[in-house]
Amino acid sequence: MRRKLKIPFLILLIIMISLILFLINKVSIEYKSEDISSGVVRKNKVSKEEFIKDIAPAAQNVQRSYGIRASLIMAQAILESNFGQSDLASKYNNLFGIKAGTTDKHIKLETKEYIDGKWITIKDDFAWYNSWSDSIIAHAKLMREGVDWDKNLYEDVIAADNYKDAAKSIEDAGYATDPTYADKLIEVIEQYKLYEYDRQ
């Protein structure tokens, strides 16, 4: 009789342990996803410092490959995505508020635009990326290749001698409608010492 009780108990115990291990693994996978190609690690909730450390390697890789200052890339990602916490960044991996092209996978979301001297809310199509590194690369390509109507739109951003000139150039090119965009970028760069990432 004791032998009959031990076998069902052991089977139940094995099932319970397997279930617990499965749930632990599932929670771990959902908490952290890693893009090995760029070194960008994304967590559901990260501190500001963790976000900066997570995107720094990809920003520096883009600086080497495309000539765009890492400090500017990181400041834009911080400002546009609220340290990766915006819906656009956390759900759709778009760190820069990049609008969708005609062939891009996209999502329609509300956004604020500064038009005719006031802030208004509109709905627009935003690009939807597979990872944060894809978003960083798409941003770099936009800076390098420009837009359909002006291939050289961001050439002054790339040619800038320092982060302040780069920030002013990106505002002058009309990247954002915010009339204080350059000042905000410079403030973020200086507050978090992002200029240190420009030194490779």
Can you give the pLDDT of all 200 residues of the chain as single tens digits?
Answer: 455 556 777 777 778 777 676 666 544 333 333 333 344 545 457 899 999 999 999 999 999 999 999 999 999 999 999 999 999 999 999 999 988 876 678 777 777 777 788 787 767 789 999 999 999 999 999 999 999 899 999 999 999 999 999 999 999 999 998 999 999 999 999 999 999 999 86
Which residues are 33's β-sheet partners? 42
pTM for this structure? 0.73
- DSSP state string for the chain: -HHHHHHHHHHHHHHHHHHHHHHHHHHHHHHEEEETTTTEEEESS--HHHHHHHHHHHHHHHHHHH---HHHHHHHHHHHHTTTTSHHHHHH--SS-PBP-TTS-EEEEEEEEEETTEEEEEEEEEE--SSHHHHHHHHHHHHHH-BTTBTTTTHHHHH-SSHHHHHHHHHHTTSSS-TTHHHHHHHHHHHTTGGGGG--
The owner of tokens 């995505």 is: 81
pLDDT value of residue 151:
96
Q: Domains in the chain, start-ordered, CATH in brackets?
A: 36-97+129-198 (1.10.530.10)
Asked if residues 86 and 45 have their Cβ atoms less than 8 Å apart, the reply is no
- Altogether, the residues listed in the chain come to a count of 200
pLDDT value of residue 84:
96
